[in-house]
Amino acid sequence: MNKFDIQTFIRPNVAKMKPYSSARDEFKDFDSEMIFLDANENPFETNVNRYPDPQQRKLKSILSKQKNITTDQILLGNGSDEVLDLIFRAFCEPSKDNIITLPPTYGMYSVLANLNDIENREVLLDSDFQPNMDEISRTADTRTKLLFICSPNNPTGNLIASEKILKLLKTFNGLVVIDEAYIDFANEESWITKLHEFPNLIITQTLSKAYGLAGIRLGICYASAEIISVLKRIKPPYNINELTQQSAIEQLQNTVKLKNDIFSLLEEKLILLKALVKVKFVEKVYPTDANFILLKVDNAEKRYTQLLENGIVVRNRSSQPLCENTLRITIGANAENKKLITTLKTFK
Ligand SMILES: *Cc1c(COP(=O)(O)O)cnc(C)c1O
C-alpha cells in the first residue's frame, strides 16, 4: 500500500463539518459545582434530568485504562451498529463508493450498505471460512473504501487467520474494519495492540455479548485519533444516554464477573460441543471461538421447527452462502443447554 492518508478518504461534505458543540462542552469538569442554565433542561433532580456527557469522559477513561489506549482513540455508539453506520457515512460517498464484505458474515454490513446506497461487493469465504485473498484484491478498485472482517466471524464462529488479516492490512488500499464482537470469547488477543502500526485499521467491539449488556446498547470503536476525530464530527451529540453511561461505568469495573461469565460460558460450550456431535442428525459441528455454535444438520428447516415447538429458539442460517442446512445456537445457561440436548435427542 502507498502511504495511507486518511484525509483523502473522508467524504468531502464530512471534511467540511465541525462537530456539534453544546455550551457545556466548554466546561471540562462536569462534576464541579456550576449552575447550568444553558440547555433548557428541567432543574429538578431525577438522576436523568440533565443531558448526558456527549464525550462520555468517565466511561472512556475506564476503557482507556483497561485497553491501554488513549481516550482520543475511542468512539462510543448506540450499539456497534451505530458505530458501523458512522463509518459508512464518514468515508463512503453514496452511489459512488463501494465496500467489500466476506459472506457468510454479519448481516448488518449489507443492511448499512443498502441504507447508505453503497455497493456491497461480496467475496465469499473459502470452504474453511477464511478470506479468499486473490479474489479480494481482484474485487477492490479505487472506489473501494471499506473492507469488513468479522473475527470471530458470525455466524460461522471461527477466527479469521491473523496472517491473512495482517496481509490485508498491508495491501488493502482502504480502511479495514475488524468487528470483534466476540473477541472476549476467543483464544487470541484483540487487534487493538496493532493500532499504532496500521493507520487504516478500525476495530469495533460491543458490550452486548461477553459483557452481558445487550440491553444498554453500547458499541465501541477503536482507531487512530485522526479517524476517531472524523467520526466524532458526525456522531449525534447525545448518542449514549445517561442510563447507559452509568450502567456501563458500573459494569466495566466488575472485571471478576466478566472473567467468570466467560469462563463458565466456555465450559458450557465444551459440554455442548461434546453432546452435539453425538446427536444423530447433526452432520457437522463447526469449530468456534465465539459464544455460539454453527451446526450442519440433515434438514435445518425441520429441526428449527421442531425446536420451536419445544420452546427453543435458535437461528436457521441456511439462507447464507456456504451455510446450507445450518443452525446457529447460542450457548445458554447450564439448564438451558441441558434442555436443548435432551430435546434434540428426542427428535425423530
Ligand atoms: C452481535 C454482534 C454485534 C453487536 O452489535 P451491537 O449493536 O453492539 O449489539 C456486532 N457485530 C457482530 C458480528 C455481532 O454478531
pLDDT digits (tens, 9 = 90+) for 149-159: 999 999 999 99
**pLDDT tens for residues 178-236?**
999 999 999 999 999 999 999 999 999 999 999 999 999 999 999 999 999 999 999 99
Which of 238, 253, 268 terminates a domain? The answer is 253
| DSSP-assigned letters across all residues of 199-247 | TTEEEEEESSSTTS-GGG--EEEE--HHHHHHHHHHS-TT-S-HHHHHH
Beta strand 74-77 with 219-222 is antiparallel
**pLDDT tens for residues 9-27?**
999 999 999 877 777 776 6
Mutate to test the pocket of ligand 1, among 80, 105, 149, 239 (most ligand atoms within 8 A of CB): 80
Which of 212, 229, 253 terminates a domain? The answer is 253
Q: For residue 206, which atom of ligand 1 is closest to its CA?
A: 8
Q: Helix or strand or coil: residue 277?
A: coil
Q: For residue 105, which atom of ligand 1 is closest to its CA?
A: 13
Residue 132 located in a structural domain: yes
Residue closest by Cα to atom 2 of ligand 1: 181
What's the chain's Rg over C-alpha atoms? 22
Q: For residue 153, which atom of ligand 1 is closest to its CA?
A: 13
Residues 244 and 306 in one domain: no
Residue 63 located in a structural domain: yes
Residues 168 and 281 in one domain: no
Mean pLDDT of 264-277: 98
Q: Which three cell numbers stand for residue 174?
A: 482502504
Residue 1 located in a structural domain: no
Residues 229 and 266 in one domain: no
CA–centroid distance, 209 to ligand 1, in Å, is: 8
CB distance 291 to 269 below 8 Å? yes
Per-residue pLDDT at 28: 57
Residues 167 and 21 in one domain: yes
What residues are in contact with ligand 1 under a 6 Å CB criterion?
79-81, 106, 150, 154, 179, 181, 206, 208-209, 214, 219
Q: Which three cell numbers stand for residue 186?
A: 476467543
CA–centroid distance, 216 to ligand 1, in Å, is: 13
Sign of CA dihedral 282, 288, 290, 296: negative
CA–centroid distance, 181 to ligand 1, in Å, is: 6
Range of the domain at 89: 6-253
**pLDDT tens for residues 288-316?**
999 999 999 999 999 999 999 999 999 99
Q: Which residues of 188-224 are buried (b: 16+ CB within 10 A; e: fewer)?
A: eebbbebbeebbbbbbbbbbbbbbbbeebbbbbbbbb
Residues 140 and 59 in one domain: yes
Residues 313 and 183 in one domain: no
Q: For residue 150, which atom of ligand 1 is closest to its CA?
A: 13
Residues 80 and 222 in one domain: yes
Residue closest by Cα to atom 5 of ligand 1: 80
Nearest to 202 by CA among 67, 56, 58, 74: 74
